[in-house]
Amino acid sequence: MKSTTLQIRNVAFYVTLPSFFLVLVTVFGRAIGSSGIPSVPLALAGAVVVLATFRVKESIVHEFFFILAGASGAALAITLIVFGIMRMLGCPPGGDGGGITLPMILICPPLFIIGAVGGIVCLVRSLK
């Protein structure tokens, strides 16, 4: 029987997948940083995936992919939430010269996809 932490991590990982695509459709479809509300489930689930992965004893490959997916999803979501708050307060983001914007918006989505595909492959292989 699987441990409770492993089950929580897997459920949180499964929540991050549709949450990521919801964020892509709603936030990136309109304008970057227009609203941070759809990003909240991704941020919470990504943080749970990372924290639970640290507690579960697995191979380094499993840990790498789950931490990559959880951390990049949570970082992307937290950045979008902060951008939404800044926009609500009347201070549009973008004055940092791309120091935060470019890595979080252009690098985190591909890293999440790599981590998610690797995590799915690891989960499928662990079933056999």
Residue, of 125 and 85, whose pLDDT is higher: 125
> Residues near 23 by Cβ (< 8 Å), separated by ≥ 6?
38, 39, 42, 76, 77, 80
The pLDDT, as a whole number, for residue 2 is: 66
CB atoms within 10 A of CB 34: 14
Per-residue model confidence as pLDDT tens digits over 41-63: 888 898 999 999 998 888 898 89
**Alpha-carbon gap, residue 57 to 21, rounded angstroms:** 29
Domain count for the chain: 1
Tokens of residue 98, six digits: 């791309």
Structure-token pair, residue 12: 């949180």
Looking at every residue in the chain, the average pLDDT score rounds to: 81
Residue 114 has pLDDT above 90, yes or no: yes
pTM score, two decimals?
Answer: 0.81
Domain that holds residue 27: 4-127
Q: Return the pLDDT at 64.
A: 92
Measured in whole angstroms, the distance separating CA 89 from the mean position of its chain's CA atoms is: 25
